[in-house]
Amino acid sequence: MRHFVSTRNLSSKYIFLILNKAEELRLQQEKLPEQIFVANLFFEPSTRTKMSFSVAQRKLGMETLDFQMETSSVTKGETLYDTAKTCEAIGANLLVIRHQEDNWYDELTPNLSLPVINAGAGRGEHPTQCMLDLLTIYQEFGTFTNLNVVIVGDIKHSRVARSNAYALTTLGANVYFAAAPGFKDDTMNFPYISIDEAVEKCDIMMLLRIQHERHTAKQYDSTSYLVQFGLTKERESRMKDHAIILHPAPVNRGVEIDTELVECQRSRIFKQMENGVYTRMAIMIILLKEWGYHNETNPNKCKKIN
């Protein structure tokens, strides 16, 4: 793997390499012995992903180059390619990029001599979010084979749905979609079921955020959306005992999910965020090692303190 931009062609073996490394990092601190520079280029808003990468980088002892789009030369018309080449020239060893185009990495990666991680690509993919979702499932069930995963909500505008649907299929899970009219996506071939079927069938209910900022008009009233298509308390009560709830956040409270369920017993929403740090550490270490920026024969490991 030269870059980490999509789950579409990720092998099962490679996914487990990441998941097992992430679990190792959760239990044991590790600092890279090299001075590694990472540029985080976020062209779209982010709290979780950006902060998660930032914590992951500091835990590994990396130097983070923060880039503020609004005060960058992008305001003077500079392209993504030239911005990326600039980071390379200035000494970055790794790029973490979120950008509004669905496939920005296709043209970018062939001309760069450093690894690129996709931290969100328009309505395309969000593969690091997928990996942390998978880690959360893996911690819970220890396997993916024959698990019923229902991805619920604004499938059409969701890069999270796409990355998870590909990877979960690779891992042998059964993927279903549940979506309100207008939120379905014709470009992916997975069976649609109703939200009421979903709550009873699923081992994992993977809720999505309604991407208001990608819609041209508000399509549903919040309360009626929850009642018709969201996870109400009544629906939650019909889920299997062992079934868990995931959501990539930020949550639209009272829309996709009843606000009281956000921190309920079967919710793993904040656990997902915690797992994001270890997952991103794992992906960065694996890429840096593959590119020769990190030499694992010179480890700097120590038992975790707290």
Nearer to its own copies, 111 or 224 (CB): 111
77, 110, 142, 181: which one binds its own copies (CB under 8 A): 77
Q: Of 65 and 151, which has the nearer Cβ to its own copies?
A: 65
CA angle centred on 91, ends 88 and 94, rounded to 5°: 60
Size of the site for its own copies (CB under 8 A): 59
Tell me if 287 sits within 8 A of 117, measured CB to CB: yes
**Quick one: which of 172, 182, 191, 250 contacts its own copies (CB under 8 A)?**
250
Among the candidate windows 4-12, 51-59, 177-185, 224-232, which touches its own copies by CB under 8 A? 51-59
| Nearest of 279, 248, 272 to residue 60 by alpha carbon | 279
User: Which residue lies nearer to its own copies by CB, 79 or 223?
Assistant: 79
Q: Is 166 in the site for its own copies (CB under 8 A)?
A: no
Alpha-carbon span 69 to 66, nearest angstrom: 10
CA distance 162 to 125: 6
32, 60 contact by CB (below 8 A): yes
Q: Does 70 bind its own copies (CB under 8 A)?
A: yes
Does residue 249 interact with its own copies by CB under 8 A? Answer: yes
Distance CA 273, CA 251 (A): 13
- Quote the strand ranges of the chain, DSSP E: 28-30, 37-42, 63-67, 94-99, 116-121, 148-152, 174-178, 204-207, 244-246, 301-303
User: Which residues, listed in sequence order, are joined to residue 178 by a DSSP beta bridge?
Assistant: 152
Is position 223 an interface residue for its own copies (rule: CB under 8 A)? no
Distance set, CA 217 to CA 66, 182, 213, 283, 304 (Å): 33, 12, 9, 37, 49
In 3D space, the residue among 79, 88, 105, 111 whose CA is nearest the CA of residue 7 turns out to be 105
Residues in the chain: 306
| 268 annotated ligand binder | no
Out of 65, 134, 135, 155, name the contact with its own copies by CB under 8 A.
65
Q: What is the 3-state secondary structure (H, E, C) of 9-50?
A: CCCHHHHHHHHHHHHHHHHEEECCCCCCEEEEEECCCCCHHH
Instruction: By CB under 8 A, tell whether 42 contacts its own copies.
Output: yes
Q: Which is nearer to its own copies, 132 or 243 (CB)?
A: 132
Interface with its own copies (CB under 8 A), residue from 68, 146, 189, 297:
68
Contact residue for its own copies among 24, 72, 139, 184 (CB under 8 A): 72
Known binding-site positions? 48-49, 76, 98, 126, 129, 159, 209, 249-250
Known binding-site positions for L-aspartate? 76, 159, 209
Known binding-site positions for carbamoyl phosphate? 48-49, 98, 126, 129, 249-250
In the complex, which residues of this chain contact its own copies (CB under 8 A)?
34-35, 37, 39, 42, 45-48, 50-52, 54-55, 58-59, 63, 65-79, 82-83, 85-91, 209, 212-213, 249-253, 262, 270-271, 273-274, 276-277, 293, 305-306
